[in-house]
Structure 1
Amino acid sequence: MPAMEYCTLPRRLAAIVYDALLIIALWMAATAIVVVVRQAEVGTASLAFQLYLMIVAWLYLAVCWRAGQTLGMKAWRIRLVADSQPVLWRSTLIRFATALASWAMFGLGFAWSLFHPQRATWHDLASGTRLITLPRTRSKTTQENHAQDHDQQRRQQQR
C-alpha cells in the first residue's frame, strides 16, 4: 500500500477557490431567503446578518468535511482525514474558526504548511485533521476503452 501523500499548499488553495465560489452562491441564496421573509433589504453591516452568513458557510463546510470532501476537494482529489470518522462537529467548528484566524493573519496559518513535515496548516493541527491527496484513478471511459482493446486483441489471437 502506498504511503499517504499530504496535500500541497497550491492544491489546497485551488480547492478553496472552487469552494469559495460555491459558498458565494450559498450566501446569495441565504440572503434571498432573508430578503423574502423580511420583505426588506438587509444591511450588510448588521452583525447578526454577518454571523448568519458565517453559519451558512460553516454548515456547508462541516457537512462536507464530515463526509470527507467538499466539492472543491473532490475536484482536486483531496480528502480530509481524522482519527475519528466522520469528523466530529466540534472538530469542524475548530477547523473553521482557526482557518478564519489564519486568513485574518494574512494566511500565515496556511503558509505554516510549507514548513510542517505533514504539510499541516494551523486549522489541521488545531482540529486534529489532515488533508491527503488521493491517487489518480482511471476514468470509466478509459477503463472501458482499455477493456475493449484487450477483448479485440484476445479475439485476434484466437483467429
Structure 2
Amino acid sequence: MNSTPQYATPSLLRRFAAMVYDSLLLMAVSILYGAVTTGINVAINGTPTMGARISWGMWGWIVFAGWIVTIGFFFCYFWHKSGQTLGMKTWRMKIVNDSDLNTPDYSKCIIRCVIAPFSLLLFGIGYWLLYANPERQTLHDKISKTRTVLLEKDPKK
C-alpha cells in the first residue's frame, strides 16, 4: 500500500494560466538581461552612432544562448527551491518528485526544462498526453520523473 498522500492533478487550463503569469515575469527578466548585455557591449565597443544598431558580431549567438540559460535558470531555481514559480503559486500548483513528492533536484529540473518546450510543439501535444496517461502526467513530467500536483486551498482565517 502506498503511504504517500495523493494529490489532484491540475487541468491544462490552470497550467496554461500559470504559464501566462510566468511569461510576464520572464519578460521582466529578459528586459533586465538585455539591458545588462547591451550595457556590457556598449562599455566594450562604445556607443554606436546615432541611428545605428548595436553590433554583436560573433557574440550574438553567445548572448542568445545566455538568455536561454537565464530563462532555464529561472525555472530550475524556483522548482528546486520550492517546487513553484510565482505563476504556479498563484494557481496552487507544485512540481514534486514522482517517487517521494519532495521538490526535485537540479538534474530533474534541468531535464524538465529541456523537454518542456517540446511538449508545446504541435499544438501542445506533450501537454495533451495528460489526458491519455493514467497517472495524468505530461511528457516532461514523465521524462523528468516529476509530477505537477494541485494544492488544496488555504483555509480562510
TM value normalised by structure 2 = 0.80
Give per-residue Cα distances to partners, 1:38-97, cap 9 Å, x unaligned.
116366x93322211111111010011012110000000001110364412111111011
Contact 2:84 2:94 in 1 (8 A): yes
Q: Share of identical aligned residues, percent?
A: 29
Report the 3-state secondary structure (helix = DSSP H, G, I; strand = E; otherwise coil) of the residue aligned with 2:89.
Answer: helix
Moved over 6 A (4+): none
Which residue is 1:93 aligned to?
110
Whether contact under 8 Å (1:34, 1:42) holds in the other structure is no
Residue 23 (structure 2) aligned to one of 20, 24, 47: 20
Amino acid at match of 2:23: A
TM-fit CA distance, 1:2: 6.9
Residue in structure 1 matching 2:71, options 57, 64, 80 = 57
State the superposition RMSD in angstroms.
2.1
Structure-2 change in CA distance of 1:118 and 1:8 (3 Å)? farther
The answer to whether residue 125 in structure 2 is matched with residue 122 in structure 1 is no
Name the count of aligned residue pairs: 139
Report if aligned partners of 1:6, 1:118 keep a CA contact under 8 Å in 2. no
**1: CA distance between counterparts of 2:126 and 2:7?**
22
TM-score computed with the length of structure 1 as normaliser: 0.79
Match of 1:105?
122
Which residue does 1:47 correspond to in 2?
61
List runs of 5+ in structure 1 lacking aligned partners.
144-159
Q: Which has the larger radius of gyration?
A: 1
- Cα 1:101–1:114 change in 2 (3 A) is same
What is the CA distance between 1:21 and its match in structure 2?
Answer: 1.0
Q: Find the residue that maps to 1:105 and give its secondary structure.
A: helix
Partner of 2:10: 7
Decide which moves more: 97-106 or 70-79.
Answer: 97-106
Q: 2:33 aligns with which of 24, 30, 34?
A: 30
Counterparts in 2 of 1:48 and 1:92: CA distance versus 1, 3 Å: same
3-state SS of 2:94 partner: strand
Q: Which amino acid aligns with 2:84?
A: Q
Give 1:102 shift: 1.8
Q: 1:76 and 2:79 equivalent? A: no
